[in-house]
Amino acid sequence: MNTIETRALAAWLDDTLQASRFRDYCPNGLQVEGKSKIGHIITGVTASEALLRAAIERGADAVLVHHGWFWKNEDARVRGPKRTRLALTLAHDLNVFGYHLPLDAHPTLGNNAQLARVLGLEPARRDDGAPLTCGPDNLVWLGSAPGVATLGELAAQVQSRLGREPLVVGNAGQPVGRVAWCTGGAQGMMADAVDAGATIYITGEASEPTTHLARETATGFIGAGHHATERYGVQALGEAVAEAFDIRVEFIDIDNPV
């Protein structure tokens, strides 16, 4: 089995995802250092206890996730679930890599790019070929839904392709015009999408004000699930790692209804 030096992989991931560009809510990159060489990686959405135990059971050297650890303003004390996760990681010499906003934003491997692929959305492009975006850190993508006429049809397509029923706000018969999307908990960026001319906004979650904003701007809203919309970027990133270094990479989907 081929291996790669842990620090070399960390450098490649940081460079590929341009991690230093982002002011994030957590540290991006190698969050917990384990074995010095890596030959087997488990990828997943979140570095939960369940994912760690699955990685240990499979004899992996590292986990690579979108939702890692050490979030801004979280309780810094090491107790409860945090203690359990860290104890498992250190006892088994696991490396933990986490990439949050850099993985959302990447133009090909990122969550937004991959969600577009899965849902059949067509990103609008700038003159240089980059995706047309808006919002903080340009995280909201803009485009269209070819072949889909109404909000109801688009919601049905989302449900079919993600395997879960979305939350929908709006008239099912309203036409689909400009579509905007941002995976995960990006309901707070809906106003940016509306300002950019979106008539439909797709994200993972909704908050109480989301319904009012959707109704008052006549913008269709689809809340497709935080976990459900963010399963694909880390898979694409893992496949890129496997291809670049010829090491074993497995994706494990720990079910999450949110």
230 is in an annotated binding site: yes
Amino acid at residue number 129: G
Q: Where are the beta strands (DSSP E) in 15-86?
A: 29-32, 37-38, 40-46, 62-67
DSSP structure class, residue 75:
-
Which residues, listed in sequence order, are joined to residue 65 by a DSSP beta bridge? Answer: 44, 98
Contacts of 64 (CB under 8 A, 6+ apart): 13, 41, 42, 43, 44, 97, 98, 99, 234, 237, 238, 241, 249
Which residues, listed in sequence order, are joined to residue 175 by a DSSP beta bridge? Answer: 150
220-223 and 133-134 strand pairing: unpaired
40 is in an annotated binding site: no
Integer-rounded Cα Rg, in Å, for the chain is: 19
104 is in an annotated binding site: yes
Distance between CA atoms of residues 230 and 88, nearest Å: 25
227 is in an annotated binding site: no
Residue positions in the annotated binding site for a divalent metal cation? 66-67, 104, 226, 230
Residue positions in the annotated binding site? 66-67, 104, 226, 230
